[in-house]
Amino acid sequence: MPTQRPFIIGIDGRSGAGKTTLTAQLAAVLERRHDVTVFHLEDIYPGWNGLEQGIGQYVNEVLKPLRRGEDAHWTAWDWLTNEPGTPRLTRAAEIILVEGVGACNDLARPLLNSSVWVELPAALRKKRAMERDGRSYEKFWDVWAEQEQSYLAADPVWENAEVLHPGPAPELTESPEDGQGQS
22, 51, 17, 23: which is closest to 123 by C-alpha? 17
Q: Judging by DSSP bridges, how do beta strands 95-99 and 36-40 pair with one another?
A: parallel
DSSP β-bridge partners for residue 72? 90
One-letter amino acid of 49: N
Alpha-carbon gap, residue 181 to 37, rounded angstroms: 20
Is pLDDT at 173 greater than 60 in this prediction? no
Domains defined for the chain, CATH in brackets:
7-173 (3.40.50.300)
Q: Which positions ≥6 away from 144 have C-beta within 8 Å?
A: 15, 48, 51
**pLDDT confidence of residue 34:** 97
SS3 174: strand
CB 108 within 8 A of CB 59: yes
pLDDT, tens only, 63-121: 999 999 999 999 999 999 999 999 999 999 999 999 999 999 999 999 999 999 999 88
Q: What is the pTM of this model?
A: 0.87
**pLDDT confidence of residue 3:** 57
pLDDT, tens only, 2-34: 557 899 999 999 988 899 999 999 999 999 999
More confident residue, 44 or 175: 44
Average pLDDT, stretch 57-66? Answer: 98
